[in-house]
Amino acid sequence: MDYFVHIGDERLHVSVKDGALEVDGTPMPVEVLGRVGDTVRGLRLSGRGHRVIPARNGKGRWQLRIDGRRIEAEVLDRGQEAIRAAKMAAGVATGPAPLEAPMPGLVLRIDVEVGDEVTEGQGVAIVEAMKMENELTAAAAARVSAIHVAEGEAVEKGQTLVEFEPLDDSDPEEDEG
């Protein structure tokens, strides 16, 4: 079975054959320890142990903590990878990423209105958590297309606060990077 693992901008090809594993063509004698559902699992690579805390964040998406380091990996099989590649080739525009709450908290202030143009790094909202005010900023220049929360509202981690659309004169290819 062939899998393609996306970590950040990297893509690694991993094949599993009769329990033997190859990463980008190089054999990797690794076994996973523990049982399905255990909070803490182990990895043993050529005798050397590592602690792994896995969390599944949706289809094929794994957040792994290995020896205290956090890694987000998406695992696609050959079919899924082909669909992904076809979509990328078709140039499906993704548009500017929405602003999400990085932690649960209370929206103290929204500094923009629908239709506003924001510049990269501009303060968009302030969310208070644990008595600390955290300013959330725009990741890129864009126009505000929707605001989903009100001042004084409690928000969950990952909740979408503000959505953006590309500026008219911006290069649509820019976000594909």
Partner 1 sequence: MKSVLIANRGEIAVRIIRACRELGIRSIAVYSDADAEALHTRLADEAYRLGPAPSSESYLRTDRILDVARESGAEGIHPGYGFMAERAEFAKAVVDAGLVFIGPSPATIDMMGDKTRARTRMEAAGVPIVPGTTTPLADAAEAEAVAESMGYPVLLKAAAGGGGKGMRVAEDASRIRPSFEAAAREAKSAFGDGSIYIEKYLSRPRHIEIQVLGDLHGGVVHLGERECSIQRRHQKLVEEAPSVVLDPETRAAMGEAAVRAAQAVEYAGAGTIEFLWQDGDFFFLEMNTRIQVEHPVTELVTGIDLVEWQLRVARGEALPWTQEGIRIEGHAIECRITSEDPDDGFLPSTGTIRYLELPQGPGVRWDGGVAAGTEVGLHYDPLLGKVIAWGADRATAIERMDRALREFVLVGVEHCGPFHRRVLAEEDFRAGNLSIRYLEEHPELTRAPENGDALQRLAAAAAVLLEDERRRTLAPPRIRPGAGGAPRSAWQEAFAPGASEY
- From the list 65-73, 113-121, 143-151, 163-171, the region that binds partner 1 by CB under 8 A is 65-73
Q: What is the CA radius of gyration of the chain?
A: 21
8 binding partner 1? (CB under 8 A):
yes
Residues 83-142 that bind partner 1 (CB under 8 A): 102-106, 129-132, 134
CB of 138 to partner 1, least distance (A): 16
**Which residues sit opposite 127 in a β-bridge?**
107, 134
CB of residue 146 to partner 1, shortest distance in Å: 24
- Which residues have a Cβ under 8 Å from the Cβ of 162 and sit 6 or more positions away? 98, 99, 110, 112, 124, 125, 144, 146, 147, 148
Mind spelling out the 3-state secondary structure of 14-25? EEEECCEEEECC
Report, in Å, the least distance between residue 117 CB and partner 1.
26
Interface residues with partner 1 (CB under 8 A) are 1, 3, 5, 7-8, 10, 12, 14, 16, 21, 23-24, 28, 30-32, 36-37, 39-41, 43, 45, 50-56, 60, 62, 64, 66-71, 73, 75, 102-106, 129-132, 134, 157
